[in-house]
Amino acid sequence: MSRFLVVSIFTFIIFTNCAEGIIRRCYQCRSRGEKGNCKDPFKYNSTQAENEHGLQVIPCASGWCGKVIEGQETYREDDYDSAVQRMCVQRGPDDNEDRCAHTVYNYKKVYMCFCQGDLCNGSSSVGASWGVLVAFSIIGFTMRVLL
């Protein structure tokens, strides 16, 4: 009976976490120059972002988030033409690989990053989700011990 209870609890946790992970979210904001809360380093998590002016956590149907940096080549601390924008994008790269590259966006030369994952456009780099990795490791170990 206790094995059944433990397996049932782990199954419930897995399906609950998977269901929450289906809807991906992205940070949405725009900052110009040195001031603003959208620039790098980005220091907010989803809870803090909800309380910041001009910063939103939005659902993203495509699952692809983006970050655009304008004016990077001539960046100075007092350069008002520099800007950072984070958003949900309609689709990612054709090969479905996370990446950053120089490109043209809204008729301007920019540095743009694409990433797929929940709130992935909050960091300055793209990485694996350690929480998911640890959770699956613990669940796999527990299932092996119990069965």
Task: For residue range 29-69, list pLDDT tens digits in order.
Answer: 999 877 789 988 898 998 898 888 889 999 999 999 999 99
100: pLDDT strictly greater than 80 = yes
Which one is predicted more confidently, 103 or 78? 103
pLDDT confidence of residue 75: 45
Which one is predicted more confidently, 84 or 78? 84
Element of type H or E holding 50: helix 46-50
pLDDT confidence of residue 17: 45
* Full set of structural domains in the chain with CATH: 24-124 (2.10.60.10)
Beta strands in 1-143 (DSSP E): 24-32, 56-60, 64-70, 83-88, 99-105, 108-116
Beta strands in 54-107 (DSSP E): 56-60, 64-70, 83-88, 99-105
* C-alpha to C-alpha distance for 101 and 108, rounded to whole angstroms: 14
Which one is predicted more confidently, 44 or 137? 44
pTM over 0.75: no
142: pLDDT strictly greater than 90 = no
Contact by Cβ (8 Å): 50, 28: no
pLDDT confidence of residue 86: 96
85: pLDDT strictly greater than 90 = yes
| Percent of the chain surpassing pLDDT 90 | 36
Using CA of residue 69, residue 75, residue 76, residue 80, what is the dihedral sign? negative
